Structure formats: C-alpha cells, structure tokens
Structure 1
Amino acid sequence: MNRSRLPPLSALWAFEAVARRASFKAAAKDLSVTPTAISHQIKLLEAYMGLRVLDRSPRAVTLTPQGKALYEAVAAGFGEIERVAARLLADTAPRTVTLSSTTAFLSHWLVPRIDTLRRAIPMIDLRLHTSNIAEDLRSGGIEAAIRYGRGPFPGVVSTFLCDDVMMPVCSSRLGLSHLEDLRHANLIHIEGRNRPTPEPGWSHWCTRAGLTGVDTDAGSRFPDSLLAVQAAIAGQGVVIASRVLLADALAAGLLVAPFSEQLAGDAYHFVCAVGVETRNDIASLREWFQTNLGSRDPA
C-alpha cells in the first residue's frame, strides 16, 4: 500500500467527527479543539482530495456523495482499529482475580507477602476476599481460595499445598521452658474455632503432653486467632495456633515455641472454580502458592 496517497490522519479524524455529529461545533468539542481548527482540517482534506466532502449551510452540515463514500471507509477503519486496540490492551492489562480465605490466613500469612506475589505475577490484579466460611467459587466472581481442611472439597478443583500442626507459642519474655511452667501461665483461648477436629484447645494439648492439674478452662479468651496471637506477642499468655500462620512471628523472634508437644492440624489447599483451572492467571497463582506455601514438613 502506498501510504503517500492516504489523506492526513488529522484531517480524516476531524472529518469523521464532523460527519458523525453533523456539526463543526460538536466535532470540535469531541476532539477538544476549536471549530476553526476543525474547519481548517476539512479544507485541508478537500484540497488533498480535490473534491468536496461536505456541504455546509447555515442550518446543516451534510455529506456529498463522495463524502459519504469516504465516511463509510473512514468509520469502518477507525472502528476496526478501536476493536483491535481494545483486544490488545485487554490481553496485556492485569486480569482481576478474587481470592478468598480466612481472616487468619490473609492477615498472618498472605498480606506480608502480597508485594512479593504481585511482583512475581504482574499480570494479575489480585483482590482479596475475607470469609471464615467456604464461599461458592465461579468465574467472574470469587475464582480462587485458600482452604483449610482435609479435603476433598466438592464442586471445585483442589490442589494440596501443605500439612499443618498446632503448637503452643508465647513471648520469650515469659521465660517458659518446662511443662510445669504452664501451671502459672495465662492460657489464651480462641473461641469459635471449628478446624481442625478435634478442636486444638488446652485440654486436648495437656492430655497429649501428659500434664495434669492445670485448669484448662481458665485464661483469656479471644474471638479469632489474629487477636489471640497479638496478645501472645504482647506477652499476655500462651496460645495454641497454626504453625503455618505463626511462621513469620517465630522467624522474627516475636514468639517462641517452648514445648515440643504438638497437635495435628489440617491441610492448606489452593482451590479454584471448575472451568478456570487452566487459565494462565489461575495457573500462575496456583504455582506461586505451591512454591511459597507448598511441600512443608509439619513435623
């Protein structure tokens, strides 16, 4: 194609706006220029073409037969360019993915790593959804989740990430090192916890550890693990919580695990809606969790 025979693009752009709006003033407003600038571009186009494309009168602007033919071609060309550009932008723009999980998992584990995740998978615009129940997953809604349980989970595509254990932790400031020290420590309880089963409470743990004579009902009570762990970090007592969720606080020295006895936990799984498991964004998200959370030895 000989591009030297194409009219100037700025003139075609002005002509398309005038023809579509049947008004120099309206076209000028659409293109954020003055009516005089629009008139100049139309004159440039007509001079280049050697024919009139518009008939102007005080009351109306109409297309000449030649102008009508040119408008149909220009409108079709601009329309096709717009469609292709929109598709290309959609292919390169970050795709929104909504991930659901519990308040505890998002707060303790994922939020501290969210910048790392976004740098690793820049094509995803990740939205977090907090829920302590298993939400329905579907394409265009909540597409993925991190679930805690034994599995399998019906109605979703599930990928095992890692097993978990429940362990007592506290601030090193409490100076606990022997089981007998628990007799004088404040026991922190997390209420409403339904996983794992049996409930990882102090009565169960003391029985496993062979520690008797401890009032396992006494102590502070909190409605979720986030508050309970913060209380333990502040030196207010000892709490039994998920080793996966405690990993950062233990690594930073904010908490210590003074006792070797642990309780079995459940497992973490990456799950997604049926039908989206092969999408590139979902596959990349699943692989990131497998790399950063998967294959952990709970012992």
Structure 2
Amino acid sequence: MDWSRIPSLAALRAFEALARHNSLSAAARDLNVTHAAIAQHLRALETHFGESLATRDGQTMKLTETGRDLADALGEGFGRIAEGVTDIMDRNAIRPITVTLTPSFAEAWLMPRMGQFWSQHPEVEVRLVPSMALANLRRDGIDLAIRFGNGDWPGNDVEPLAVSQFVVVAAPTYTKARTLDELGGLSAHDWFFSAAANEQRVWGKAIGVDFDKVGAQDMANNGMVLSAARAGLGLSIQSKALVAPDLDSGQLTTLYEGDPEGLGYYIVTRPGVLSPGARAFRAWLRKMAQAQV
C-alpha cells in the first residue's frame, strides 16, 4: 500500500464524522475535539484532493458529489475495521447482540417464542430493533437481520427461514367468497394494512395483487387492521400464525394461502465470524423454524 497517497487518518476520521452529522460542531462533539480542528481537517483533505468536499448549507454542511463518494468509502472502510476489531475481541466472549427485524415478524412470530430463547440462553442479551428499513449490517453494528423478500442481498450471508405463510383474510360477514377469483374485481374491495409493515404489500404483489392500482388503507398498527377485518370492513393479508385463533373460531376466513416460490423470511448476517451470542441465536432460529414445519 502506498501510504503517501492517503491523507492522514485523523483527517479522514474527522470527515467521516462530519458526513454522518452534516455539522462541524456535531462532528467535533463526537470526536471530542474543537470545531476549528474539524474545519482544519476538512481544508486539508480538500487541498489533498484538489476539490471541494462539503459546502455550508444554512446551519448544516452539505457534501459535494466527491464528498459523498469519500464518505461512502470511509463508512465502509471504518465499519470493516470496527467489525474486525470486534470479532477479535468477542471470539471468546458473550456480548449483547443486536437483531433487526420487521415489526410484523416480531409481533407474529418472534415475540411469542422469545421466552424459550431467554430460558435456554440466559447469558445472551438480545437487543431487538424492529424496523422496516434495510439496515447496513456492518455500518450499523447489526449482528443479525431477519428480512422479508427473495433473498437477494449481495455482500451478506443469506439463508431462508421457513416460517409461517401469509393468507388473505376477511370476516364471513364481509363476503361469502372463498377465493380471490370469487371476489371478482379486487379494486372494488377495501384492503387494510399496517403502516409499520411492508411484507403484506410485497407478498400481495407476488400473487398478482397490484396495490398501486387496487389501493389500500394504512392504519397505525396491525391491531387496528385486524379489528377492521374482524368487523367485516374489508380484506387484509396476515401471517397465518397471527390469525390462527381467528381462523379456528370462524371469526375470519381465508381467501388465499400459500407463499410464492422464493419469497419469504431470511436470516441475513455479515460474512465472517459471528460472535458466540449471534451463533446461538441463529441456531435457535433454525431450530424453532424447523419445529414449525
């Protein structure tokens, strides 16, 4: 490596903090240095590259195109350094693990089972981060993600997690139909979704329901969606595990079930060595999914 072509690591670290915070003052507080020190590092980097990296935009700093390129490279590079250091330090240590997952999966599948994991692994602290966003595992310090889709997340280790399928449900008072075909024009019906979920829309599109054309109503949470469906106000797509009691009691009926090929939940991890806690949690997820099959 030709270190003469690389600016000082202190300047690069300062710029990475500036890019994250979009503020000289916030970057200075983050690194426990002065505002002037961050500004000096920025000027040194701009001199090194021969072009502007950031400009003032009111009270914040706005990155130029070159600045964004540099910030992306530094974020990935420093993230990889942090990952390597953490892996070495944690090879023989149990530390808290961070798991990101969709709110729907947390509600319908994971939380009813988490007590079993905690009883089997009381030494592992699990921090659950429900989110619809696709986190950058390395940058955000995520040990394991549970994502919904077709498994196409390049740069990560991905394996399917065979869990409950989704179903289209409605109350018997809403329709006497027993299939989507019997419903006729889907756009003539009211569909309800939770604003804190996206699996249902992805799944519905895969079975041929285009909600950009059909339209649907978003509600604040899935509890409100289920209340609307039980009251006979319209249709919804739900995890079969979540609505099993309603189906058994006859409060809801299914109009479609069966997951499209390749679409489902996946365990996603960073390539390389997982911490002992993350390995234990992944093995437990596999076991619980297998027990459900």
The separation in 1 between residues aligned to 2:278 and 2:136, in whole angstroms, is: 16
Q: Is the 8 A contact 1:170 1:257 kept in 2?
A: yes
2:170–2:235 Cα contact (<8 Å) kept:
yes
What code does the residue aligned with 1:272 have? Answer: T
The aligned runs of 1:1-299 (5 Å cut-off) are: 95-138=95-138, 141-162=141-162, 165-171=165-171, 174=174, 176-179=176-179, 180=182, 186-190=189-193, 200=204, 204-205=208-209, 217=214, 220-222=217-219, 227-241=224-238, 245-251=239-245, 253=248, 256-260=252-256, 262=258, 264=260, 266-277=263-274, 279-294=275-290
Tell me how many residue pairs correspond in the alignment: 195
Conserved 8 A contact 2:94-2:276:
no
Q: What residue identity is the alignment partner of 1:103? A: P
- Separation of aligned partners in 2, 1:91 and 1:178: 54
Q: Letter of the 2:161 partner, please give it.
A: L
CA deviations 1:19-39 (Å, max 9, x no partner) are: xxxxxxxxxxxxxxxxxxxxx
Q: How big is the shift at 1:138?
A: 3.2
In 1, distance between residues paired with 2:151 and 2:216? 33
3-state DSSP class of the match of 1:204?
Answer: coil
Do the aligned partners of residues 251 and 117 (structure 1) sit closer, same or farther apart at CA in structure 2, a change above 3 Å counting? farther
- How far residue 230 of structure 1 moved from its aligned partner, in angstroms, is 4.4
Q: Structure 1 261/247 Cα, relative in aligned 2: closer, same or farther at 3 Å?
A: closer
Q: What SS does the corresponding residue of 2:208 show, helix, strand or coil?
A: helix
Q: Which consecutive residues of structure 2, in runs of 5 or more, have no partner in the other structure?
A: 1-89
Identity over aligned pairs, percent: 22
The 3 A distance-change label for structure 1 pair 201 and 150 is closer
Max Rg structure: 1
Distance 1:287 1:173 in 2: 43
Shift of 1:96: 0.7
- In the superposition, relative to structure 1, how do residues 183 and 139 fare at CA in structure 2: closer, same or farther (>3 Å)? closer
What is the alpha-carbon distance in structure 2 between the residues aligned to residue 161 and residue 199 of structure 1? Answer: 16
CA contact under 8 A between 1:148 and 1:267: conserved in structure 2? yes
Shift of 1:176: 3.6
Asked if the contact 2:193/2:200 (under 8 Å) is kept, the reply is no
Structure 1 counterpart SS, 2:204 = coil
Q: Could you tell me how far apart the structure 2 residues matched to 1:267 and 1:202 are? A: 11
Instruction: Write the letter of the residue equivalent to 1:273.
Output: R
Partner of 1:51: none
Q: Confirm or deny: 8 A CA contact 1:96 1:127 kept in the other structure.
A: yes
Deviation for aligned residue 1:205:
4.9
Q: Which runs of 5+ in 1 are unaligned?
A: 1-89, 207-215
Q: CA 1:269/1:141 → structure 2, altered by over 3 Å: closer, same or farther?
A: same
Change (3 A) 1:237 1:135: same
Map of 2:79 onto structure 1: none
Q: 1:281: how far off? A: 1.4
Distance 1:249 1:261, change over 3 A: closer
SS at match of 1:145: strand
Return the letter of the residue paired with 2:193.
Answer: I
Shift of 1:186: 5.0
